[in-house]
Amino acid sequence: MASPQTGVKPTTIVDSRGTMCPGPITDLFRAYRNANIGDVIELLATDPAAKSDTEAWTKRSGNEIIAVIDEKDYIRIQIRVVKKGK
Protein backbone atom coordinates (compact mmCIF):
# COMPACT_ATOMS: atom_id res chain seq x y z
CA MET A 1 0.00 0.00 0.00
CA ALA A 2 1.27 3.46 -0.87
CA SER A 3 2.29 5.70 2.00
CA PRO A 4 -0.35 8.42 2.60
CA GLN A 5 2.46 10.91 3.30
CA THR A 6 4.50 10.26 0.15
CA GLY A 7 2.16 8.42 -2.20
CA VAL A 8 5.00 5.95 -2.80
CA LYS A 9 4.37 2.21 -2.53
CA PRO A 10 7.42 0.41 -1.11
CA THR A 11 8.84 -2.59 -2.96
CA THR A 12 10.13 -4.04 0.29
CA ILE A 13 9.20 -3.29 3.89
CA VAL A 14 11.95 -3.98 6.41
CA ASP A 15 10.58 -4.12 9.95
CA SER A 16 13.44 -3.51 12.38
CA ARG A 17 11.28 -2.25 15.21
CA GLY A 18 12.55 -3.45 18.57
CA THR A 19 16.13 -3.92 17.38
CA MET A 20 18.95 -1.72 18.51
CA CYS A 21 21.95 -0.53 16.53
CA PRO A 22 23.18 -2.13 14.32
CA GLY A 23 19.90 -4.03 13.75
CA PRO A 24 18.14 -1.54 11.44
CA ILE A 25 21.17 -0.76 9.26
CA THR A 26 21.99 -4.50 9.07
CA ASP A 27 18.45 -5.22 7.90
CA LEU A 28 18.65 -2.33 5.41
CA PHE A 29 21.88 -3.72 3.93
CA ARG A 30 20.34 -7.19 3.59
CA ALA A 31 17.42 -5.65 1.68
CA TYR A 32 19.77 -3.50 -0.44
CA ARG A 33 21.77 -6.57 -1.51
CA ASN A 34 18.59 -8.10 -2.95
CA ALA A 35 17.14 -4.85 -4.39
CA ASN A 36 17.03 -3.59 -7.96
CA ILE A 37 17.49 -0.05 -9.24
CA GLY A 38 14.21 1.83 -8.80
CA ASP A 39 13.05 -0.25 -5.83
CA VAL A 40 11.80 1.52 -2.72
CA ILE A 41 12.85 0.06 0.62
CA GLU A 42 10.79 1.14 3.62
CA LEU A 43 12.67 0.77 6.90
CA LEU A 44 10.64 0.73 10.13
CA ALA A 45 12.75 1.37 13.22
CA THR A 46 12.49 2.28 16.87
CA ASP A 47 16.24 2.82 17.31
CA PRO A 48 16.98 6.57 17.03
CA ALA A 49 20.37 5.82 15.38
CA ALA A 50 18.54 4.35 12.37
CA LYS A 51 17.82 7.81 10.96
CA SER A 52 21.36 9.20 11.17
CA ASP A 53 22.94 5.94 9.98
CA THR A 54 20.59 5.74 6.99
CA GLU A 55 21.19 9.39 6.11
CA ALA A 56 24.96 8.91 6.26
CA TRP A 57 24.75 5.77 4.14
CA THR A 58 22.54 7.30 1.42
CA LYS A 59 24.82 10.33 1.24
CA ARG A 60 27.85 8.09 0.76
CA SER A 61 26.24 5.58 -1.60
CA GLY A 62 24.26 8.03 -3.74
CA ASN A 63 20.91 6.48 -2.89
CA GLU A 64 17.92 8.63 -2.07
CA ILE A 65 15.81 9.14 1.03
CA ILE A 66 12.27 9.89 -0.13
CA ALA A 67 10.92 10.64 3.33
CA VAL A 68 11.45 10.15 7.03
CA ILE A 69 8.02 9.84 8.66
CA ASP A 70 7.53 10.04 12.42
CA GLU A 71 4.89 7.56 13.50
CA LYS A 72 3.63 7.28 17.08
CA ASP A 73 6.29 4.90 18.42
CA TYR A 74 8.68 4.49 15.50
CA ILE A 75 10.02 6.05 12.32
CA ARG A 76 9.45 5.04 8.73
CA ILE A 77 12.23 5.78 6.28
CA GLN A 78 11.56 5.36 2.57
CA ILE A 79 14.69 4.87 0.49
CA ARG A 80 14.77 4.75 -3.29
CA VAL A 81 17.56 2.59 -4.71
CA VAL A 82 19.07 4.68 -7.48
CA LYS A 83 22.60 3.35 -7.28
CA LYS A 84 23.89 -0.15 -6.84
CA GLY A 85 27.29 -1.42 -7.92
CA LYS A 86 29.40 0.12 -10.67
Partner 1 sequence: MQGSTVNIVLVGGGSGGTLSANLLAKQLRAEIQAGKVQVHLVSGSQQHIFQPGYLLVAFAGQDPTEIVREERSLVNENVRLVEEPAERIDLKSQVVTLASGKTLHYDYVIVATGSTPNPEAIPGFSEAALNFHTSPEESRRIWNMIQQFDGGHVVIGIAGVPHKCPPSPNEAAFLIDDYFRKRGIRDKVKLTFLTPYPRPYPAEPMSRVVEPLFKKRGIEIVTFFNVESVNPTKKEMYSLEGETQSYDLLILVPPHRGADVVVKSGIGDADGWIPADKNTMRITGYENAYAIGDATNIPVSKTGVTAHLQAITASDNIVSAIRHGRELYKYNGRINCPFEMGSGKAAFVVGSYDMPVKEIHPSRIRYVMKKAFARFYWRTLSGSLDWLFGLYFGKTQTVERT
Task: Give contact residues for partner 1 (rule: CB under 8 A).
Answer: 16, 18-23, 25-26, 29-30, 32-33, 49, 53, 56-57, 60-62, 83-86
Burial class (CB in 10 A: 0-12, 13-18, 19+), 46: middle
Of 13, 21, 65, 69, the active-site residue reads 21
Residue whose CB is less far from partner 1, 23 or 65: 23
63 is catalytic: no
> Before 48, cis peptide (omega within 30)?
no
CB of 40 to partner 1, least distance (A): 17
Residue whose CB is less far from partner 1, 7 or 85: 85
Residue whose CB is less far from partner 1, 9 or 30: 30
Which residues are catalytic, by number?
21
